[in-house]
Every structure is written in structure tokens, then in C-alpha cells.
Structure 1
């Protein structure tokens, strides 16, 4: 890569890291927020859920908007929105306002994630997997060190710092992006001459509304049931409303002239569907370990928070360390071998979880974490490279947005899986059962990678 491409990649990385950084950093601030706004844990946990829900919706919507109106514009607007929300959040007079600013922050950072991947796909034409590996370091690194940064900020100041820390990243990214991201090509249409109805049809306002209502209702029902610890008629009603709205959305998208999610195109390129299914499985497995293992270590192995944090940090370090090598490997031979290797490592890690017992040496725990960490690094690069192979350039924005929504779906499913398997308390037996389920997930991923047809690249050139 030349110097301009490297600066372009840095500008994208500094913007993209804001989404995972803010989704992970907030976890250590929940207790402070409970005291600041006089809330119980169930109420304050919506500061996390609202970010996940908003990101899940905003990723494909903003990806589609970038395909229509220009990727440079959307990236810069996203930085401005995230900057404004980060300034406003510490001034929230009530928790409802904080949730609102958190949602706005999620929308702004989502613009950058889906658009950032599209910018790499279009403007970095050589060694794309290497570029993706560097982007993966920004994303995975931010998620891994987010709780640590949040803890340091809370130690020296208070919860407003976890919002204000975004400002230097946003400013640096904006300054670099303004100089390095090429200007958008003129759009193939002019919105000035469009009527309101024509403009609404162009952006698929009906599709956006149906998608938003469906996903919000479904996730709100599921996450409310999880946070309250019981399943009520209201939760079931929310879930049914969400599923119904998403079914109508799919019917609408198949018929729409300018759909938010081009289902006909996805049907034409089935490799895109397979990539997203695999990405859901990957994140279901990884975040089940990421969220579940710390509680197991503290409750069953009686490890301190410090030692648990050190062990979990090894997961992120292994993921980051393998990413550059993964990028070079995938540039040479394509994503399929890396994905197969990742699936085998996930299966090995799952077997180690199945055989776990309270006297198991820490070295075996480290081996399991290394297997999951290395597989995560391979997946972060390999899955994005597979998406690039499978997706036509003209819809890369919305394809990237849906890809990132798949990440959040896997994350949310992992949280639900832990609730179902563990119940009210963690036990060694329950954790072994979790390992068996994750082994099945890993083997399904291996099977899909083995069967993956190497036709995605030719499909994307049709």
C-alpha cells in the first residue's frame, strides 16, 4: 500500500473503532450510572441494549444511504454526529436523555462502520485482506481494551469521561478523512427535482419503518425477558409483533423498486447469505466465551477480578497478534483455508471447555483462550474478505451494514444462550453443556466453510 492508502486506512480505523469502543467501555460504568440516576440494574442495562438495537438497525440503513448519496459524505456526517452526541451525553439531566444521546451516538458510529468497509472495498484495490487485518486491529483492539480504558477513566474521573474520550478520536479521524477519502462521484439522480413521494420511494421509507419496527419489537421483547428473568405475555406479544413486521418487510423488499435490502440481489448471490449466517455463528460462539467465562472463573474458580481480567486480555491479544499474518495469508490464498483453520480452532477450544473442571490447570484455560482468540483474529479478516468476494461493488455499503448487523445478532444470541444454559447461577456442569453447544456451532461453521464454493468472486463480476 502507498502512503495515501495507509493514511486513508488510519482515518477509517480511527472512526470505525468508536463503535466497538463505546459498546464495550460502558460495561464498567453501569454501577456509577445506577448511583447517578438512582436506578436498578435492569433499568440501567438498557444503556447497553439500546446501543445494540440502534446499531443493528442503523448499520444496513446507513450502508444503503452511502450507496445512494455518497460514502465520503456519510462517513464525515457520522463523525460529526458521534462528536455531537459525545459532547451532549455528559449533560443529560435524566437517564432518558442519556439513552437518547446513546442512540444518536450509535447511529453516528454505525455510519462509519458500514461505510468504512465499503471505502476499503472501493479505494484500496491491492492487498485488501491486509487492509482488512489492520481495520480488524482497530475494531478488535477497541473492543478488547474498552473495559480497561473505561476502568482507568472511572478511576481518575467519572462516567462522563467515557463519552468525552471519543472526541479526540473523532477530530483526528475527521481531519484525516477530509484529506484522504476521495470525493464521491456525482449521483446518477438529482433529488432536487424529486417530489416527496419519489424521494421516500428512493430511500425506501416504508422498508426502513418496517425494518425498524420489526427489529425493535423483536429485540425489545427478547432483551426485556432476559433482563427481567421471566417470560411474560407482553414479551411474547412484542416478539410476535416483531416477527410479523419483519415478515411484511421481507415481502415489501421483494417487490420494492428501490429496496433498503435488495433481497433479489441476495438471492442472485447466495454466497452473501452464507457469509452472514457464518458470521452470526462466529459471534454467537465467541461472545458466549467472552461474556460467560469471566463469571465462571470468578464464581467457580474464585479468581479475583484482576486475574480474570488478565486471562481475558489474553483472548484479545491473541486475536490482535494473528490479524496481520491472517491478512497476508488471505491475500495469497483467499479466505477459505483461514476460515477452515478458524473452525478447527473453535472446535478445539470448545472441547477444552467440555472437559473443564474446577481443578483444571490455568495453562489449559490459557490454551482454550488462545484457540478462541486466534480463531477470532482469523475470522475477523476472513469473513470480511469472504464478504468482499461475494458482494457486487454497487451494493457494498448495504452488504457491509447487514454484515455488521449479523455481528450484533450473534452477540445478542450469545447473551440469550448464556441465560438459558446458566439460569440463575453458574455451575461447572452448565458450563460443560455450553461447551457442547459451542462445539456443535463450531462444527457447523467448519462444514459451511468446507462446502463453501469458490464462486463468490465470479458471481460479484457478473
Structure 2
């Protein structure tokens, strides 16, 4: 790999790590934000919701936009947006403004994730597989160490530090990207510039994006307001109905659209891919429920400092990072099904173990639950991707990957919703136990799904010789 290619790799990696890093750092800052802005646990959960909803929408949209306006231009613009949001967020006088800037930050960082892999694939032609694996390590590694980094920053400098820490990464990435990412031909940009505004909206499916965002936010707001208020009011019912109706309109629109934001018809045509995406939603629901719930348990119930919470949460990230390369070798030999079954068993064990914890449980017990989820996450990082490739036809692998990322964000959003519903207005030990029991049920359903898939796979393999005869 040439020196220029190495610097290109560094510039892209410094940019793309900002999205997973910022998505995970905030988990340790939730109690601090709750105290500073005088919020209940449901209210402060919107700092998580807003980021993931915006990421779920922005990444596929920016992928389409990069085809029209150029990947270099989108990447650099994302860095500028991230810089502005990270600089202004600590100055937020009220929580609503912080949420708006959090959404802006999510859009900016999503612009880099959406085009980073494409830039590497196009401009690095030697040792491309190695380059892409490095990119994946930065994405998963940043998410894994986020709670530790967030814990240290909040302990030393309070919550604004989790935004300000982005600035040196953004500046370094921008300077390197400006020099190393080659300029693209102007033909695609000129074509996009000459395109009418109505045509451009149709290409990115602006109507579908708007319906998805409004419906999802209304549904989440209605569910959380019912739980936080403890009663069903007329306003709550109207909000819930608006969410359901708008999401129904979204499904109808996507089925008719020529360029859908989420191609729902693809699910119907490929049931194996549908099963993988459903399982991926549940996997992320489990993992991120623990990811966001455990720091609050440690700080609120166990009264552990932000710094030591970050160190304990590092168990989750390190186990995930160590398990990922080992999972790759195992899956190369045995396929994804055994690894995914073991992952589901580990998540079931971890969820049941959470229920056994109390206010005085030794920290080794806490680390045991974190290790179980960390190892399972490492297995899932590789196993789910391999299962997707097995179940998706080659001609639609690009669409399949986009849907796969959307499933990850939906699982993450649902995890925040689950925590908000179980905990209500205040994080409590009894609520944490209920969370563990809920996660155990979900994990056991994953075991059942994997056993069914293993049986169907064995049946298909046994049918091959007989049909060939």
C-alpha cells in the first residue's frame, strides 16, 4: 500500500469513527444530563433516540446523495457539519437545543459513514480486503470503547467534553481528506445540478423519508408519554394514532415508489434475508438495551463514578473486539449458524444473570454479564454479516446491505424505547430486573430462531443429493 493510500485510510477512518463513538459515549453521560437539565429517565432517553433515528434516515439518504454530488464533497461536508454541531452543543442552554444539535451531529457523522467505505473501495486498489477490515475495526472499535472514553471525559470535565472531544478528530480528518481524497469528475455533479428539484426529491424518496421520520417519532413519543405520565390521555392516544397512521401511509408509499427509501418488496421476495434482518433487529435490541441500561444501573443503583463505570463497560468492548477475529476463523470453517446459536445462548445467560444481580453483587458478577454480551456481540458482528451474504442474491447485495444497516438502527431505537418503557420516569433497581427478564425472553426466542434455521439448513443440504440424482 502506497504512502498516499495509507494517509487516505487514516483520513477516512478518523471521520467514520465519529458516528459510532458519539452513539456510545453518551450512555455514560445520561445521569449527568438528567441532573443538569432536570429530566426524568424517559426525557433524557431522547438524546439516544434522536441520534439513531437521524442516523437510520441519513445514512441511506447520503449514500444516494453521494452518487449525485460526489463522495469527496459529501465526506468533507459531513466533517464541517460535525464540527459546527460539536462546537455548539456544549453551549446549549436547554435540552431541546441539545437534541437539535445532536440530530445535526448525527447527520454530519452519517455522511462520512455512508461514503467512507465507497471511497476506500474506489481509491485503494491494492490490499483492498485489508483496508476494508481496518475500516470495520474502526467502526466496531469506536463503539466498543465509547463508554470508557465517555466515562473518563465526564469524570474529568463533565458532559460537554463528549462533544468537544470530536473537534481534533474532525480537524485532522478534514485536513487529510482535503489533500488525499481525489477529486471526482464533474459530470455526475453537473447532472445533479441540472436535475429539477422535484426530480431530485423523487430520486431520494423525500416523501418516504418524511413519512418514516414523522411516523416513528410520533409512535415513540406516544408510547413514552403514556409510560412517563402513568395514564392514557387523549393527547397520548392521538399521538399514537398519528404514528400508526403515518407509518401505514409510509408502507403503502414504499410499495408504490419506483425509488423507495426502504425497498419493502425485497423482503417479500427473499424470506431468508427477511429472517436475517428480523434476527439482527432482535440482536441489537438485546445488545443496546444492556449497553445503555448498564451504565445507569452502575451509577444510579450502585453509585459507581463515571470514570469507574467507563472502565467496567470496557469489559463489554474488549470482549467484543477479541471475539470478532476468532469468530471470523470459526465461521470460515463452520458457517454462521453455530456461531449465531452460541451467541444467542450467551445473551440468554447474560440476561438471566442480570436478574440475579442486586445492589451488593460483587463487581466480578457485573463483569460476567458484560463479558457474555461482549463475546456474543463479537460473534454477531461477523456471523450476521455472513448470514446476510448467504441469504441474499448477489444482484441485490447493495440493497441488502442497506436494509441490514437499517435493521441495526431499528434494533437500537427499540432498545431505547424498551428501557424507557420499563424504567418510566426514574431508573430503578426493580426496573433493571424487569429489563433483564424481558431481555431473557427475547434471547430465548433467538435460540429458537437459530435452531429452526439450523434444521431448515440441514433439510436443504439433505435434499441436494436426492435432487441431483
Give the TM-score taking structure 1 as reference length. Answer: 0.80
Task: Output the CA distance in 1 between the equivalents of 2:336 and 2:117.
Answer: 17
Question: Deviation at 1:314?
Answer: 1.1
Structural mapping, 1:270-349, within 5 Å: 270-294=271-295, 302=302, 304-305=304-305, 309-330=310-331, 335-349=336-350
Structural mapping, 1:359-378, within 5 Å: 363=364, 365-378=366-379
**Contact kept? 2:312, 2:367, Cα under 8 Å:** yes
Which consecutive unaligned segments of at least 5 residues does structure 2 have?
A: 461-469
Structure 1 residues 224 and 70: CA distance shift in structure 2, 3 A: farther
- Residue 244 of structure 2 corresponds to residue 243 of structure 1: yes
- Residue 11 of structure 2 corresponds to residue 11 of structure 1: yes
Question: Deviation at 1:280?
Answer: 0.9
Task: Output the CA distance in 1 between the equivalents of 2:169 and 2:401.
Answer: 22
Once the two structures are superposed, residues 49-87 of structure 1 have per-residue CA deviations (whole angstroms, 9 ceiling, x without a partner) of 322332232233223333554444333322222122222
For the residue of structure 1 that corresponds to 2:429, the secondary structure is coil
Once the two structures are superposed, residues 76-104 of structure 1 have per-residue CA deviations (whole angstroms, 9 ceiling, x without a partner) of 32222212222233344554433322211
Structure 1 residues 361 and 342: CA distance shift in structure 2, 3 A: same
**Deviates further, 176-185 or 279-288:** 176-185
**Deviates further, 2-11 or 238-247:** 2-11
Match of 2:208 in 1: 207
User: How many pairs does the alignment contain?
Assistant: 454
Question: Deviation at 1:281?
Answer: 0.9
Task: Output the CA distance in 1 between the equivalents of 2:267 and 2:225.
Answer: 32
Match of 1:23 in 2: 23
**Contact kept? 2:336, 2:384, Cα under 8 Å:** yes
- Residue 156 of structure 2 corresponds to residue 152 of structure 1: no
**Contact kept? 1:129, 1:328, Cα under 8 Å:** no
Task: Output the CA distance in 2 between the equivalents of 1:360 and 1:445.
Answer: 33
**Contact kept? 1:60, 1:400, Cα under 8 Å:** no
**Contact kept? 2:344, 2:444, Cα under 8 Å:** no
Task: Output the CA distance in 1 between the equivalents of 2:310 and 2:218.
Answer: 35
Structure 1 residues 191 and 377: CA distance shift in structure 2, 3 A: same
**Contact kept? 1:127, 1:331, Cα under 8 Å:** no
Task: Output the CA distance in 2 between the equivalents of 1:414 and 1:164.
Answer: 27
**Contact kept? 2:151, 2:311, Cα under 8 Å:** no
Structural mapping, 1:310-459, within 5 Å: 310-330=311-331, 335-353=336-354, 363=364, 365-387=366-388, 399-419=400-420, 425-427=428-430, 430=434, 433-434=437-438, 436-447=440-451, 450=454
Question: Deviation at 1:229?
Answer: 5.1
**Deviates further, 203-212 or 270-279:** 270-279
Task: Output the CA distance in 1 between the equivalents of 2:354 and 2:31.
Answer: 30
Question: Deviation at 1:283?
Answer: 1.0
Once the two structures are superposed, residues 3-48 of structure 1 have per-residue CA deviations (whole angstroms, 9 ceiling, x without a partner) of 7766555433322221222223334445655676666665555333
Structure 1 residues 265 and 23: CA distance shift in structure 2, 3 A: same
**Deviates further, 376-385 or 424-433:** 424-433
Question: Deviation at 1:248?
Answer: 1.6
Structure 1 residues 231 and 166: CA distance shift in structure 2, 3 A: farther
**Contact kept? 2:280, 2:408, Cα under 8 Å:** yes
Match of 2:466 in 1: none
Question: Deviation at 1:205?
Answer: 2.3
Match of 1:86 in 2: 86
Structural mapping, 1:214-233, within 5 Å: 214-228=215-229, 230-233=231-234
Question: Deviation at 1:319?
Answer: 0.8
Task: Output the CA distance in 2 between the equivalents of 1:257 and 1:356.
Answer: 52
Question: RMSD in angstroms over aligned alpha carbons?
Answer: 4.1
For the residue of structure 2 that corresponds to 1:260, the secondary structure is coil
Once the two structures are superposed, residues 211-251 of structure 1 have per-residue CA deviations (whole angstroms, 9 ceiling, x without a partner) of 22222222332344455555443233223222222222222
**Contact kept? 1:136, 1:380, Cα under 8 Å:** no
**Contact kept? 1:86, 1:105, Cα under 8 Å:** yes
Question: Deviation at 1:256?
Answer: 1.9
**Contact kept? 1:24, 1:147, Cα under 8 Å:** yes
For the residue of structure 1 that corresponds to 2:171, the secondary structure is helix
Structure 1 residues 151 and 308: CA distance shift in structure 2, 3 A: closer
**Contact kept? 1:62, 1:398, Cα under 8 Å:** no
Match of 2:161 in 1: 161
For the residue of structure 2 that corresponds to 1:190, the secondary structure is helix
Match of 1:108 in 2: 108
Question: Deviation at 1:179?
Answer: 5.2
Structure 1 residues 80 and 440: CA distance shift in structure 2, 3 A: same
**Contact kept? 1:285, 1:438, Cα under 8 Å:** yes
Task: Output the CA distance in 2 between the equivalents of 1:297 and 1:122.
Answer: 45
**Contact kept? 1:133, 1:324, Cα under 8 Å:** no
**Contact kept? 2:285, 2:412, Cα under 8 Å:** yes
For the residue of structure 1 that corresponds to 2:384, the secondary structure is helix
Task: Output the CA distance in 2 between the equivalents of 1:127 and 1:151.
Answer: 36
Give the TM-score taking structure 2 as reference length. Answer: 0.79
**Contact kept? 2:147, 2:314, Cα under 8 Å:** no
